[in-house]
Amino acid sequence: EARRLGRLLQDLLDLARLDAQNFSLDVQRVECAEVVSLTAAGFRPEAENLGLELITAVPPDAGLWADVDPDRLSQVVANLTENAFKHAGTRVVVGAGVVGTSIAIWVLDDGPGIAAGDVPRVFERHFTSDRSTGRRLGSGLGLAIVSELVAAMKGVVTAESPVIDGRGTRMTIWLRPPGAGA
């Protein structure tokens, strides 16, 4: 309970800083695949404790370079992974690659998915889907923070559901490689 309250407090502080545009971004050229792989690796013990399979789908030496804040990118991937853990049935996939002219970083779960009418609202503050696997749901702030941090790094985040046989959700961060334009 103390950890949950601490997380809620941190989420509220992050949102207040984002609202006031009083948060720091240390934008630098970053190999995103490395950030994604390291962040996902940190969640292996939690996945095991929850009885979930955590798959990292990042090609070695992917060369996924973008101008982002590596700590904030890690925070975004962590928030998406934690969110997927709350809804997954048996598996979560964290991946990265090039799609068209963009770098895509995604987190996919095999849970019940998001109702079609709820998909456009998932990045709103305090929104929580009513579909659940029985794990404790959050405050509805994590995905709002994700959306605002990704936008601050000049990216876009999208939600897609269902993705596998009428189930599951995929959250994708879209980033432009350096020199790709706006």
- Residue 133: which of 94, 80, 78, 84 has the closest Cα? 84
The average confidence (pLDDT) of the chain is 85
Alpha-carbon distances of 84 from 21, 60, 134, rounded to whole Å: 28, 24, 13
For 144-161, how does the pLDDT look when each residue is reduced to its tens digit (9 = 90+)? 889 988 998 999 999 999
pLDDT tens column, 74-116: 989 999 999 999 999 999 999 999 999 999 999 999 999 998 8
Neighbouring residues of 150: CB distance < 8 A, sequence distance ≥ 6 = 76, 156, 157, 173
pLDDT of residue 26: 87
Task: Give backbone dihedrals phi and psi of 5, rounded to 5 degrees, phi first.
Answer: -65, -40
Position with higher pLDDT, 133 vs 64: 64
At residue 124, the pLDDT reads 83
pLDDT at 4: 54
Element (H, E) at 172: strand 169-175
d(C-alpha 147, C-alpha 48), whole Å: 28
Query: Average of pLDDT values for 109-133?
Result: 79
Residue 125 to residue 144: CA distance in whole angstroms? 5
- Of the pLDDT bands very low, low, confident and very high (cuts 50, 70, 90), residue 135 is very low
Report whether 57 contacts 93 (CB < 8 A): yes
pLDDT digits (tens, 9 = 90+) for 24-34: 788 999 999 99
Query: Quick one: tokens of 82?
Result: 């934690």
Whole-angstrom Cα distance, residue 68 to residue 178? 10
> Hey, is 151 helix, strand or coil?
helix
| pLDDT confidence of residue 138 | 54
Angle at CA 150, nearest 5°, toward 59 and 130?
95
Question: Residue 159 belongs to what H/E stretch?
Answer: strand 156-160
List C-alpha distances in Å: 59 to 9, 28, 64, 82, 86.
Answer: 36, 22, 10, 22, 26
